Structure 1
Amino acid sequence: MGTWDTGHFDNDTAADFSHTLDEAPAAERESIVRRALLLAINTQGYLDSDIAAEAVAAAALVAAQCPAGDPVTTAYGPKQPLPQLSPHLRDLAIRALDRAITQPCELLQLWGETDRTGPWREGIQQLRNTLTDTDHHQPT
């Protein structure tokens, strides 16, 4: 996986995921986000880094639509607008993030081998905090 920084879209896999969203009809974009989250959640055993990176990017898109969410402004994020995503995706995004930081996970392992694991984990925690904001969280 080509990674150039700790941001949620600062790797080849997440940039490719953004391109997939841009190429998809608007009506299909939410289901693509949902599938990326569910694939990570439902993976038993070893979680491949590509699946985890897509799930983190998908979670960032869900978090961006939360009231306290930061918009995705990186050049590597989707260029086409996403529809208003279902608030029910927040719980899936939280679960996908939790899976991405739980062993056995290749992405977690790869970040653990660098001196940038702290900033990467902080970014994941910020997403999780946005998604779990009790003032704005919608239960499923």
Structure 2
Amino acid sequence: TGLGWLARQSKAMNRLERGFNHCCKGLENVLPCAEGKWREVLDRFCEEEQKERPHNSSCCDVGEGEDRYTCFSSLAPHPDYEQKLDSASASDAPQTHNLGHICETYKIIKNFPVALPVQNLVDQCCSLPADQRTACVQIQLVMLSQTRCL
């Protein structure tokens, strides 16, 4: 039934989340681990899906291995992992990446050890209007390089 398919999808997402959490606890090989968990979950989902008739996932009919993974990847909103940085934008126009995006990616950046005082950049520049952020970050980086390189 349609609800059975929804239940299988939900279970797969829960398995994927647990797998990713497991991978993120390790400090090394996080991305290969996450990709492996993704593949495991897809394979299990397809095993369960194949038992049902009719089944709803055409990617499970593609076969096994890379063809299947490519099929599922192609269904993603951003198959090449190109996350839109400005989720408030309704436009589908390609985004230009600039230093002003540090404000949108700060939550991600602060989880990684960097030699840059990211918090200072955020404090100084992110409260400014979006069209002024890039210039602000550039100025802050120049000032930082001048003080660190003396």
| Larger proportion of helix | 2
TM-score with structure 1 setting the length = 0.25
> Which one has the largest radius of gyration?
2
TM-score with structure 2 setting the length = 0.24
